[in-house]
Amino acid sequence: MTIFILITVTFFLMHAVPGGPFSPAEEKNVPPEVLARIASMYGLDKPVGEQYILYIKNLLHGDLGVSYKKTGTGVNELVERGFPVSARVGAWAIALALIIGVGLGVLSAIWRGSPVDVFSLILATVGISIPMFVISLLLLRVFAGMLKWLPSYGLTSWRHYILPVACLSFNPVAYIARQTRSSMLEVMEQDYIRSARAKGLPELVVIVKHGLKNAVMPVVTYLGPLVAGLLTGSFVVERLFSIPGIGRDFVTSITDRDYTVIMGITIFFGAFVVISNLVVDILYAVIDPKVRITE
Amino acid sequence: MPLLILDDLNATFHIAAGDVQAVRGLSLQLEEGESIGIVGESGSGKSAAMLSVMGLLPATCEVSARSIVFNNIELTRIGRRDLRKLLGKDIGMVFQDPMTSLNPLYTIGSQLTESLRLHLRYTPRQARERALELLRMVEIPSPETRLKQYPYELSGGMRQRVMIASAISCNPKLIIADEPTTALDVTIQAQILDLLMSLKQKLNVSIVLISHDLGVITSLCRRILVMYGGMMVETGTTREVFYDARHPYTWGLLRSRPSGSPQTQSADGARGRLVSLPGAPPDMLHPPPGCPFAPRCPHAMRICNEYIPPITDFSSTHAAACHLVYANARLPKKEASHG
């Protein structure tokens, strides 16, 4: 249902934007008759409503259509090719964000006011307030431009992953670290933490088993949209580092008015958000027994 | 050799506004198998005293003592690691609020077996058997089902029984019960006290019972220690404290208990009305230089505001810290007695 609304809104919004994939204004050297023929071939001469019904019909058969600009390439094919690339970079970024974010959050909660805490506060402020493209450009300039330690574009060796993964995980690390810290501070004040200590459990067990598991809820909530966002590719980072993922395809498709690609990737992204939120809900139930009963 | 000796225990919270002296110079001895009740109002330092023994106070709290001996071990000289070996094994603890004292994310079974597996190195199967036995000991019906349940599926009384089961799981020598019945309703309170009573006899365990309710304490303890403003004001057997109280604060405490029948008249003549002590507990950020109770004491003398009263012994078990009963002073007249 959510996805259906998403499709409908995107479809009509997209057509409401002036210009089209084969508008005469852009294709100056092509005679109007040819343009008209191309338009009719793709069904673009029909009324928008009819195009919509046709599109939905094809979609129900799992067909996302054919790209208008990359001749002969199906949108399905495009997604199949781009998604694994985006997902690989995204998965690394998520792993990195979780490990560093949660780790930093926990450490700064238990050593409140220590250098670790101060460092994580600075990192979080920087990470949350500076947009990703600024960080990306900065890292590119320093590590690829000035120091020439790391390659600046493409995705052919593991060294190519370092910069884009770092850029992608920067904001999430900051956010997760802050979130973990504040909920950890709250949890460690709870009575059951005192009970755990009164059992003589080692501090590490108290912190991880009794503390962290309770404190990780808000992070899990944030994980849903984060996973969807990172796995399906980041528009900015993929473009900056010339990574052949679907984020880059999406950006190009919009400037090209490549309707089917726009639609296809939007639907894919939407479906992914829905699915990862579902996974998060399931995770909730795994962690918190109270959620299980209400399901 | 007593099981627990506290000698000149001090606990000070360092907070932004200054130093809060929660416990000041508390001394106490507890024999094996004996139980003592610590009574006092909120903030009198009774919980802080026992938590400081167990090292469970937050890091902002500084604990010092001339000596804390438990089971012939000098606790002030051992490290956290060695202290942890005692916690949950030789010292079991029951806390005030059973609703929040169990971790909501783990089953009763998992929380009950934690100390067994840690301290006694039980296998999962042994621990499970023992957990079942424990749940039966604390009279929880259908223990097999309970083991798999989560805290939210149990009532407050049941949870407190689980907490007690957890406290006695490794056959401790001492149980510290910090207001174990305060968060429960009255009928459940009685049940929990009965349970503690029968466990005490069965296991020959010493109990330190912390409460603000004298009634709760008398049902379980032979000895009472009354605290006020972080200091011991009076201690004695239950009998001595009830029938021969020497400290004006103890008189006030005894008077402010609800009487059994509404027909009896309380000391101030009002029928069936609770008597309360006028005034508020001392500000522990700036405790009075003299007796902490002096500002509220109807019998306060000038000396009370200036010097901390020395402890006067009346018998081998009975003592009070009050200038009124200081050996060289005269005993208070009968009209000042309790009602």
The pLDDT assigned to B135 comes to 93
Per-residue tokens: A112: 């409140």
For residues A166 and A225, membership in a common domain is answered with yes
A195 vs B105: CB contact, 8 Å cut-off?
no
Rounded to two decimals, what is the model's pTM? 0.79
Any domain includes A243: yes
Which residues in A lie closer than 8 A to residue B127 (C-beta atoms)? none
How many Cα atoms occupy the beta-carbon half-sphere of B203 within 13 Å? 26
Which residues share a beta bridge with B321? B311
Residue A145 lies in a domain: yes
Lowest mean pLDDT among B24-28, B139-143, B270-274: B270-274
| Contact partners, residue A256, CB within 8 Å, separation at least 6 | A21, A68, A69
pLDDT band at A22 (very low <50, low <70, confident <90, very high): low
Which chain A residues are within 8 Å of B97, Cβ to Cβ? 191
- How far from chain centre, in Å, is Cα B49? 9
d(CA A214, CA A133): 34
Contacts of A201 in chain B (CB under 8 A): 84, 88, 114-115, 118
Sign of the dihedral defined by the CA atoms of residues B290, B294, B295, B299, in that order: negative
Residue that terminates a domain, selected from A60, A94, A110: A60
Q: Does B104 touch chain A (CB under 8 A)?
A: yes
A185 vs A81 pLDDT, higher one: A185
A19 shares its domain with A96: no
Measured between alpha carbons, how far is B213 from A93 in angstroms, rounded to an integer? Answer: 57
Residue B178 CB neighbours (<10 A): 23
Q: Look at residue A33 and tell me if it is in a domain.
A: yes
CA distance A198 to B88: 6
3-state SS, one letter per residue, for A270-282: HHHHHHHHHHHHH
- Rounded Cα distance between B276 and A275, Å, is 62
The answer to whether the CB of A247 falls within 8 A of the CB of A239 is yes
Are A111 and A211 in the same domain? yes
Is residue A22 in some structural domain?
yes
Is 80 exceeded by the pLDDT of residue A273? yes
CB atoms within 10 A of CB B45: 27
Q: How far apart are CA B44 and CA B50, in angstroms?
A: 12
ipTM score: 0.82
pLDDT of B305 strictly over 70: yes
Cβ of A57 under 8 Å from any chain B Cβ? no
Which of chain A's residues have a Cβ under 8 Å away from the Cβ of B100? 190-192
User: Is residue A39 located within the same domain as residue A98?
Assistant: no
A50 and A99 belong to one structural domain? no
- Residue B259 pLDDT > 80, yes or no? no
Over residues A208-265, the pLDDT tens digits come to 999 999 898 888 888 888 887 787 767 778 878 878 888 888 888 887 777 888 888 8
A45 located within any domain: yes
Residues A49 and A92 in one domain: no
**Structural domain harbouring A237:** 82-256
- Phi/psi zone of residue B201: left (φ > 0), alpha (ψ -120 to 50 degrees), beta? alpha
Q: Report the residue of B60, B97, B105, B169 to disrupt the A interface, i.e. the one with the largest count of A CBs within 10 Å.
A: B105
Provide the shortest C-alpha distance from residue A109 to chain B (in Å): 13
Q: Show which of residues 52-81 on chain B sit within 8 Å of chain A, judged by CB atoms.
A: 54, 56
Share of chain A above pLDDT 70, in %: 93
Closest listed residue to residue B217, CA positions, set B182, B184, B265: B182
Q: How far apart are CA B148 and CA A12, in angstroms?
A: 53
Does A19 fall in a domain?
A: yes
Q: What is the CATH number of the domain that holds A242?
A: 1.10.3720.10
A128 and A27: one domain?
no
Mean pLDDT, rounded, of chain A:
82
Give Cβ neighbours of residue A239 (< 8 Å, ≥ 6 apart): A247, A248, A251
For the CA atoms of B257, B263, B269, B271, the dihedral, rounded to the nearest 10 degrees, stands at 80
CA-based radius of gyration for chain B: 21
Q: A195 vs B103: CB contact, 8 Å cut-off?
A: yes
CA distance B13 to B60: 6
Q: Tell me: do A20 and A116 sit in the same domain.
A: no
Judged by CB atoms closer than 8 Å, whether chains meet at A191 and B87 is answered as: no
- Using an 8 Å Cβ cutoff, are A199 and A248 in contact? no
Residue type (1 letter), A155: L
Which among B86, B88, B93 is positioned nearest to B177, based on CA atoms? B93
Instruction: Say what percent of chain A tops pLDDT 90.
Output: 14
- Asked if A236 and A136 count as a contact pair (C-beta separation under 8 A), the reply is yes
Examine the domain organization and report whether A172 and A232 are in the same domain.
Answer: yes
Instruction: Go through A144-173 and write b for each residue having 16 or more CB atoms within 10 A of its CB, e for each that does not.
Output: beeeeebbbeebeeeebbbbbbbbbbbbbb
Is the per-residue pLDDT at A195 higher than 50? yes
Q: Cβ(A170)–Cβ(A135) under 8 Å?
A: yes
- Please report whether residue A40 resides in a domain: yes
3-state secondary structure of B29: strand
Question: A11: which DSSP letter?
Answer: H
Kindly state whether B152 is in contact with chain A, defined as any CB-CB distance less than 8 angstroms. yes
Residue A31 within a domain: yes
Is a pLDDT exceeding 60 seen at residue B320?
A: yes
Are A168 and A238 in a shared domain? yes
Query: Among candidates A197, B222, B171, which has minimal Cα distance to B209?
Result: B222
Could you tell me which residue, B194 or A162, shows the higher pLDDT?
B194
Nearest to A177 by CA among A94, A99, A284, A280: A99
Q: How far apart are CA B152 and CA A289, in angstroms?
A: 9
The residue whose two tokens read 């008759």 is A33
Give the chain B residue whose CA is nearest to the CA of A211: B103
Hey, how many other C-beta atoms are within 10 angstroms of the C-beta on A102? 21
Q: Higher-confidence residue: A59 or B270?
A: A59
Helix extents (H) in A43-190:
48-60, 75-110, 115-129, 132-139, 158-187
For chain B, first and last CA: distance in Å? 38
**Chain B within 8 Å of A202 (Cβ-Cβ)?**
yes
What's the domain count of chain A?
2
- Alpha helices, DSSP H only, in chain B? 46-54, 80-86, 98-101, 108-119, 124-137, 143-148, 156-167, 186-203, 214-218, 238-243, 248-255
Say yes or no to pLDDT of A41 above 90.
no
Per-residue CA distances from B141 to B147, B158, B162 (Å)? 11, 10, 12
A233 and A100 together in one domain: yes
Whether the CB of B164 is below 8 Å from some CB of chain A: the reply is no
Alpha-carbon gap, residue A53 to A75, rounded angstroms? 18
**Which residues in chain A touch residue B107, judged by CB atoms under 8 angstroms apart?**
289
Question: Is the confidence at residue A295, as pLDDT, over 50?
Answer: no
- Based on the domain organization, do A136 and A45 belong to the same domain? no
Two tokens, residue A160: 């190519």
Which residue bears the tokens 């020959």?
A: B204
Angstrom distance (rounded) from CA A186 to CA B327? 51
B164-200: pLDDT as tens digits: 999 999 999 999 999 888 888 888 888 888 999 899 8
Taken in order B162, B163, B164, B169, is the CA torsion positive or negative? positive
